[in-house]
Chains A and B, each alone.
Chain A
């Protein structure tokens, strides 16, 4: 089956602009999480969506937001971009249920802010 798809793969933006990243989860997965990865801070959790509702949120400023659609696809938005927002943004999807299970990650979107 198809894996987690993130678009675009690479993006260059200017400081002050905003950006929207997209994530299509594995078919049947209703949980979508977003992570930011930088050389200095490593992999950090941004937020998680389930059934179009934000269920968990990491410690990021309000410039970082997201949403999930009825087909479980998710988008994250970063407004007023700063140089420090340059990072690899990863999306992960997972099943929900009684049984503990794993998260499947996409290849990521590499954002460069200049």
Chain B
């Protein structure tokens, strides 16, 4: 079973920030938080990942709480093309298998004009 809990759906107005929450209360000290998204009928796309510090890249920001039991993915200026299912995944850190991702049901984000 997935180790994360996400709301099934969210709406966001175009141009506004989209804040997608994820609960991972059983996360272990050596597990990272990863975010992927899947636009309809395409393969999932990597967005960002982090361990305990906040992270930012050209796509999004990841805010992880100090106790690491939850995180928020922030899309600063959502566009219609950001409409997708967003998956929050926790996985073991360095070395070993990188390919075994356990996907939950994700959050379906709908960006509206």
Residues of A within 8 A of B (CB): 4, 31-33, 35, 42-45, 48, 50, 55-56, 88, 90, 92-108
Contact = CB atoms under 8 A, between A and B. Distances in A.
A109 to B, nearest CB: 11
B46 A102 contact: yes
Contacts of B32: 100
29 contacts: A31-B97, A31-B99, A32-B99, A35-B101, A35-B103, A42-B106, A43-B38, A43-B44, A43-B101, A45-B100, A45-B101, A45-B103, A56-B97, A90-B43, A92-B43, A92-B44, A92-B99, A99-B94, A100-B32, A100-B94, A101-B98, A102-B34, A102-B46, A103-B46, A103-B101, A104-B46, A105-B43, A106-B43, A108-B42
A104 B95 CA distance: 17
Interface residues of B, number: 24
Interface in B83-113: 87, 93-95, 97-106
Given A4-B43, A43-B103, A98 B98 contact: no
Identify whether the interface residues of B are mostly helix, strand, loop, or mixed.
loop
Contacts of B104: 42
Identify whether the interface residues of A are mostly helix, strand, loop, or mixed.
strand
B45 A31 contact: no
A48 B95 contact: no
Given A4-B43, A43-B44, A90-B43, A103 B93 contact: no
Interface of B: 32, 34, 38, 41-46, 49, 87, 93-95, 97-106
A105 B105 contact: no
A47 B99 CA distance: 9
Nearest to B34: A102
Given A43-B103, A45-B102, A105 B45 contact: yes
B105 A103 contact: no
Contacts of B94: 98-100
